[in-house]
């Protein structure tokens, strides 16, 4: 990849394509204690992203992400639309005006996305949501960058952390979303959103150019 815009587009397209590829899997995970629409909702939103791909404003990486956020918010149903849309919007706002994105910029954008999700979802780590995988994953990515790792190595560490944390949500009781209505019955199965973060991180680590 030759530019930060190319990198940003690679990340978004990878997320979108993987969301479509795992529609059934994510839905099955969500149906255990949720309403089962997570995989479908996510796939339909990112399907629209891909169908309108060439028409998205590419003035800079931040504007691109902000435009993607608008599509996501308006097309992903349920609670996922506002959460994922907010994440992309906060990240985009953080990067607007930057033509070259450093590792520090990337971390700042991810931290902004996390804070947006927390605020919009009124949730935090420990509530059995995607945050339980996303936060430790970003921590691992930041630590890897600070240790001097290249992007592919750092993403590998991020993916490993995301997977471990996502699997560990099986031990938690859901405190947000439809799953929270099931009380202790939500213990024993992982959170679909957290697993999605792990799957997406693993895909990025696996396909990132060397």
Output the pTM of the full model: 0.93
- C-alpha angle 89-95-161 in degrees, rounded to nearest 5: 75
- The C-alpha atoms of residue 33 and residue 53 are separated, in whole angstroms, by 34
Summary mean pLDDT of the chain: 93
Copy the structure tokens of residue 127. Answer: 């509530």
**Any idea which of 24-38, 47-61, 96-110, 180-194 has the lowest mean pLDDT?**
180-194
Give the pLDDT band of residue 34 (cuts 50, 70, 90).
confident
**Predicted local confidence at residue 119, as pLDDT:** 97
Q: pLDDT tens digit string along 88-146? A: 999 999 999 999 999 999 999 999 999 999 999 999 999 999 999 999 999 999 999 99
> Which contacts of 180-185 are long-range, i.e. CB under 8 A and separated by 24 or more positions?
182/33, 185/33
Q: Binning pLDDT at 50, 70 and 90, where does residue 41 land?
A: very high
Per-residue pLDDT at 177? 62
Among the listed ranges 19-23, 107-111, 156-160, 185-189, which one has the minimum average pLDDT value? 185-189
The domain ranges of the chain are 4-207
pLDDT band at 77; cut points 50, 70, 90: confident
Question: Is the confidence at residue 179, as pLDDT, over 60?
Answer: no
Residue 53 binned pLDDT confidence (cut-offs 50, 70, 90): very high
| 2: number of Cβ within 10 Å | 6
Superfamily of domain 4-207: DhaL domain (1.25.40.340)
Mean pLDDT of 4-24: 98
Phi-psi region of 177 (alpha: psi -120 to 50; beta: other; left: phi over 0): left
Checking if the pLDDT of 44 tops 70, the result is: yes
d(CA 57, CA 67): 7
């Amino acid at each position: 990849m030759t530019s930060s815009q190319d990198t940003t587009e690679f990340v978004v397209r990878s997320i979108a394509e993987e969301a479509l590829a795992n529609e059934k899997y994510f839905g099955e995970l969500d149906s255990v204690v949720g309403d089962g629409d997570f995989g479908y909702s996510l796939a339909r939103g990112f399907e629209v992203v891909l169908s309108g791909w060439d028409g998205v404003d590419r003035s800079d990486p931040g504007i691109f992400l902000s435009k993607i956020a608008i599509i996501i918010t308006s097309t992903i149903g349920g609670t996922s639309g506002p959460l994922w849309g907010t994440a992309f919007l906060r990240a985009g706002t953080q990067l607007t005006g930057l033509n070259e994105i450093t590792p520090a910029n990337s971390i700042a954008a991810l931290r902004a996305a996390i804070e947006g999700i927390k605020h919009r979802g009124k949730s935090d780590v420990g509530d059995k949501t995607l945050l339980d995988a996303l936060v430790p994953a970003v921590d691992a990515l930041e630590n890897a960058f600070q240790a001097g790792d290249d992007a592919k190595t750092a993403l590998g560490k991020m993916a490993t952390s995301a997977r471990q944390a996502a699997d560990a949500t099986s031990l938690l009781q859901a405190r947000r979303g439809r799953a929270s209505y099931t009380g202790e019955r939500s213990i024993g199965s992982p959170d679909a959103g957290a697993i999605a973060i792990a799957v997406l991180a693993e895909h990025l680590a696996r396909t990132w150019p060397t």
